[in-house]
Amino acid sequence: MSQALKRFSVEAISPTGERQHIEREALSDRDIALDLLAKGYTPVSISLQRTDWLGTLSKPIQWRQGPRSSEMAMFAEQMSEMLASGLTVEQALGVIGRRPGKSALGKMASQVLLRVRGGGALSSALAEEKVPSYLVGMVRAAEQSGQMAEAFTDATRYLQREVASRGTLANALLYPAIVLLTVLGVLAFMLGFVIPQFAPIFEGDEDRLPGVTRFVLYLSDLVTHHGIWLAVGILLFVTLVWSLRRSNSGRAAANKILVYLPVTQAMFSLDLSKVLSVMGTLIKNGVEISGAVTLSASVASSQALAQRMEDAGRKLREGGSVSGIFRSVVKIPETTLSIIEVGEHTGELGRAIQRAAYLLEMESEQRIKRLAALVNPIAIAFLGLVVGVVVAGVMLGIMSINQLAVR
């Protein structure tokens, strides 16, 4: 029975003399140390990472995880244009590395150039940076086929589409987020400043007040007298949920709960389209099919989808058709599978998968837009409901006191 891979956190000195933080999976720390030494690194410390929620919570917060997608799209586009114009890889990297200011992209290009000049391949040099692993695979395949400019052109198209998709999703969620913040702000203002002005009117008659009025007064008392503890409790709850969501067990539990939501299904389809797009590009550029499937798994935002793609890659190495394995392992829609099956029969698998990914992406974006169109009126209705409950609580309380006074 094979041993399970463990994830290690490594601090090492790179061949260029820089201290780098590296996270890798291996059977033991000895295997990692030998691998790093063979590549010219000097390990400083190697520690085993915990994969549960407590290990996630204890990790330092990192706001950046390598270059942004927009920066990588610009890098791929510039490399494509300069290589197509006849420049060598070293010349193109040198031009990008001379960008003005302290550009993260320029620094990355300079580091890659140093490794290339030291005798390393471009794919190996990029692998040392925090760039997507599928980009490394595309470049490695291009080094074998000699179609480096074409590989960067395909990478540019995908990265630009990824940036556009993220922008569309962010714009769709912006309005509901603003409405939610408005609801919280209005609720805090009314409970913290407005309701306390009416509270003296109801003193002594709390037992005779309607239930909604007592509820509003209770919330107001909670905000005004225990606001700090309430904020601390909310902060701790958010931190706990965040840490659980980032741990393997927490992610799996959340996926099981959210899998039936329409928005989750739409996001899964969009995630799947990205994975298929990269997979098709890799196959078209000469990467072996099972290797392309495994590399494309790194694109998935969902841990469940990434695991399914890795399982599909292993099954492909054992034998079988892409469409058949995807039908049983990845659960791809039948319409998408039909296009992939046609590509298998015609010998144009890479192009067929790219086409299927494009159609799936268009369908997913339409579903997300329809859901976003529903979210906006729901958010406004929620705002009206919250304000209505608070106002109704005050008005019903005043009316009930007046009726008691008349009697």
Q: Compute the mean pLDDT over every residue in the chain, rounded to the nearest whole number.
A: 77
The percent helix, strand, coil of the chain (3-state, each to 5) is 75, 5, 20
Which of 172-176, 227-231, 304-308, 391-395 is least confident? 172-176
**pLDDT at res. 407:** 47
Q: Which of 238, 226, 144 is nearest to 191 (CA)?
A: 226
The Cα–Cα gap between 329 and 310 comes to 10
Percent of the chain with pLDDT over 90: 0
Does pLDDT of 398 surpass 80?
no
Would you tell me the crossing angle of helices 303-318 and 248-258 to the nearest 10 degrees? 100
Does pLDDT of 336 surpass 80?
yes
**Which tops the pLDDT comparison, 55 or 173?**
173
**pLDDT at res. 64:** 44
Q: What is the mean pLDDT of residues 339-347?
A: 86
The Cα–Cα gap between 349 and 205 comes to 76
Taking only the tens place, the pLDDT of each residue in 223-236 is: 888 778 878 888 88
**Structure letter (DSSP) for residue 102:** S
- The answer to whether the beta carbons of residues 133 and 120 sit under 8 Å apart is no
CB atoms within 10 A of CB 256: 10
Residue in the structure block whose two tokens are 């399982």: 311
**pLDDT at res. 100:** 57
Is 264-365 assigned to CATH 3.40.50.740?
A: no
Does pLDDT of 65 surpass 70?
no
Does pLDDT of 359 surpass 80?
yes
Does pLDDT of 101 surpass 70?
no
Taking only the tens place, the pLDDT of each residue in 157-174 is: 778 877 777 777 677 777
Does pLDDT of 73 surpass 70?
yes
Helical H runs in 300-333?
303-318, 322-329
**pLDDT at res. 56:** 47
- The answer to whether the beta carbons of residues 300 and 306 sit under 8 Å apart is yes
Taking only the tens place, the pLDDT of each residue in 269-280 is: 877 887 888 888
**325-333 contacts, C-beta under 8 A, 24 or more apart:** 330/272, 330/305, 332/272, 332/276, 333/269, 333/360
Does pLDDT of 203 surpass 80?
no
**pLDDT at res. 258:** 62
Written as six digits, the tokens of 276 are 């298929």
Which of 99-103, 172-176, 262-266, 349-353 is least confident? 99-103
Q: 3-state class of 302 per DSSP? A: coil
- The answer to whether the beta carbons of residues 28 and 224 sit under 8 Å apart is no
CA distances from 196 to 202, 217, 223, 227, 399 (A): 10, 8, 10, 14, 18
Does pLDDT of 184 surpass 70?
yes
